[in-house]
Amino acid sequence: MVGSTARQRKDASTAGLSQRRRFRRPANPGLWRALVPVIALIAGLLAATTARTARGTDLRSAGRSNLADLIRQAETKVSNQDNLVRQLQREVAAATDRSASSDARIAAIKARAQPLLAPAGLVAMTGPGLTVTLDDAHPAEPETDPVKANALVVHQSDMQAAVNALWAGGAEAIRVMDQRLSATSAVRCVGNTLLLNGRVYSPPFTISAIGPATGMRIALNESIGLQQYRKDADAYGLGYQVHEHDKIDVPAYDAPIGLSYAAVGG
């Protein structure tokens, strides 16, 4: 029993020593005491920076990371600005009319500008013509091959080919979606969306033209770009429709008419 008790004491002593070895004191306690305030200071600076950046908002908010929301916000802003521009244009036109009634110089300038408004697209027009509709293909299953997927959407060149063919066929006024085109309008596509005067449109894309229906149909059929598009329409299911109408309304062009260009300095 004595021997057994001695072994128990020895085992207990060894166990206690083992526990102490697990919790060794740092080799340099002074260094750790000095680092603690530094670490606390850094943590405080990080917290303050995060709070200032967030300004009370959620940094991981879905609205900040959702591209579709950002696009909708930008479209709303553009629409509001467009409405403001139209209001100011109406006010300027009304002020010009009032001034022209009492100022001969302004009346003369207005009379000289009047014949130029229609060719510039600044006057709304109504008349017979055609509508051309281009649409993406809608396969039953998503296309995984990038080359084939590229052939399933309407491209900028397709839109430009249709517009140019209508002009060549004698169109007097053209509307793309709800916007009037002018001589300086540019039809641009970003991905499978249409960008026109700061507004974004999704397919199907409708082009309406006032003019001789027969001449415009012939120009559409003879367009090399549209001939290829029609082949792709048959092969991949792209949408292509041409309809004749007795009455088409084309609004006046209301986007900025100033030209931005670059010049090489001498």
Return all residues near 134 (Cβ < 8 A) that are at least 6 apart. 154, 158, 159, 162, 203, 204, 205, 207, 229, 238, 239, 240
pLDDT grade, residue 174 (50/70/90)? very high
Ranking 63-67, 122-126, 230-234, 262-266 by mean pLDDT, the lowest is 63-67
Q: Which two tokens stand for residue 168?
A: 């060549």
pLDDT of residue 64: 46
- State the pLDDT at residue 17: 39
141-155 average pLDDT score: 81
What string of DSSP letters covers 192-261?
A: TEEEETTEEE-SSEEEEEES-HHHHHHHHHH-HHHHHHHHHHHHH--EEEEEEEEEEEEPPP-S------
Task: Give which of 254, 259, 258, 257 is closest to 79, Cα–Cα.
Answer: 254
**Averaged confidence pLDDT in the chain:** 78
Amino acid identity of residue 125, one-letter, is M
Q: What is the pLDDT of residue 182?
A: 86
CA neighbours closer than 13 Å in the CB half-sphere of residue 13: 6
Give residue 213's identity as a one-letter amino acid code.
A
**pLDDT recorded at residue 223:** 95
Give which of 156, 213, 208 is closest to 177, Cα–Cα.
Answer: 208
pLDDT at residue 6, as a whole number: 43
Beta bridge partners of 175: 180, 208
Superfamily of domain 124-250 in the CATH hierarchy = Protein of unknown function DUF881 (3.30.70.1880)
The predicted structure's pLDDT at residue 11: 47
* CA dist list (Å): 119 to 113, 122, 178, 181: 11, 8, 19, 11
pLDDT of residue 5: 44
User: How much is the average pLDDT of 156-164?
Assistant: 94
Q: Which residue has the tokens 């990371």?
A: 65
State the Cα angle at 214 between 208 and 219, rounded to 5°: 75
Question: What SS3 class is residue 55?
Answer: coil
- Residue at token pair 């521009």: 85
Tens-place pLDDT, residues 183-226: 778 888 887 789 887 788 999 999 999 999 999 999 999 999 99
For 25, the token pair is 């004191």
For the ranges 39-48, 51-60, 128-137, 160-169, the lowest mean pLDDT is seen at 51-60
Asked whether 157 and 95 are in contact (CB, 8 A), the reply is no
- Greater confidence (4 vs 107) lies with 107
Over the stretch 66-88, which tens digit does the pLDDT of each residue have?
766 777 787 788 778 778 877 88
Of 200, 177, 193, 191, the closest CA to residue 250 belongs to 177
Whole-number pLDDT of residue 13: 44
pLDDT of 90 > 60? The answer is yes
Q: Which structure tokens are listed for 62?
A: 């879905």
- Give residue 34's pLDDT: 56
pLDDT tens-digit series, residues 22-36: 444 455 555 555 555
- Distance of alpha carbon 76 from alpha carbon 176, whole angstroms: 20
**How far is 185 from 221, CA to CA, in rounded Å?**
23
